[in-house]
Amino acid sequence: MKICLATNNKHKVDEIRNVLGKNYEILTLKEMGCEEELPETGNTLEANSLEKAQYIFNKYRLACIADDSGLEIMGLGLKPGVDSAHYAGPQRNADDNINLVLNQLKGINDRSAVFKTVITYIDSYGVSKQFVGIVEGNILEEKLGNNGFGYDPIFLPSGFTKTFAEMVQEEKNSISHRSRALVLFHQFLSDKVGM
């Protein structure tokens, strides 16, 4: 089964292919010939995920999934949230984003946070469905680890002693917000098409 993935982010592509397995041919935007920036005008992760999926489906008429992920920090009023990728500016630099978060958290006791992913699936049979994955944790005072991407070096998932960036990919994939949403999506597809 072919599914277009509305991203060119190599980390996301690897994680999604790893979770879904070999029964699905996952095509990136680049492989589809899509070079333009996808719209993200919503003020929630759900709205952005749906907007991207609708855009790709309407253009290519191929089953597609789009995700939007964000880090919600309680002590910052659930920020950066939907602005996670460009929290420190349009350059979308992970180090800049992390440094801004750490500066804003100085003097704030509540460092609890959730990583949240919303995946939207749309296909030519008229199915449109969203799947949500959440991981609870805390924000550290400094970066630890060199794996992963985004805010992984400062996010310590609850019940673990390593940040996402200190985990190997298989370990992170087993508990990550994206993998939790993908597991729900995979179960849905398996039930739907018998894979």
Catalytic (active-site) positions: 68
- How far is Cα of residue 64 from the mean position of the Cα atoms in its chain? 15
Q: Write the CA distances from 90 to 36, 37, 93, 107, 115, integer angstroms.
A: 16, 13, 8, 27, 21
CA 131, CA 118: separation in Å to the nearest integer? 6
CA 118, CA 173: separation in Å to the nearest integer? 16
Residue type, position 172, single letter: K
From the list 81, 180, 192, the residue with the least C-alpha distance to 131 is 180
CA 118, CA 46: separation in Å to the nearest integer? 6
